[in-house]
Amino acid sequence: MEESSYEPAVIDRFEGEYAVILVGEMQRPYDILRHRLPPAAREGDWLRIERIDNQIITVQLDPEATAAARQRILSKLERLRRGEHLRDA
| CATH code where residue 70 lies | 2.40.50.140
pLDDT of residue 1: 52
- How far is it, in rounded angstroms, from Cα 54 to Cα 41? 22
pLDDT recorded at residue 6: 86
Residue 55 binned pLDDT confidence (cut-offs 50, 70, 90): confident
Residues 6+ apart with CB under 8 A from 2: 52, 53
- Contact in structure between 38 and 30 (CB atoms under 8 Å): no
Query: Whole domain around residue 14: which residue ranges?
Result: 4-87
The yes-or-no verdict on residue 4 having pLDDT over 80 is no
Quote the pTM value: 0.80
pLDDT at 41: 95
Lowest mean pLDDT of 34-43, 45-54, 58-67, 78-87, name the range.
Answer: 78-87
d(CA 13, CA 32): 11
Q: How many domains does the chain have?
A: 1
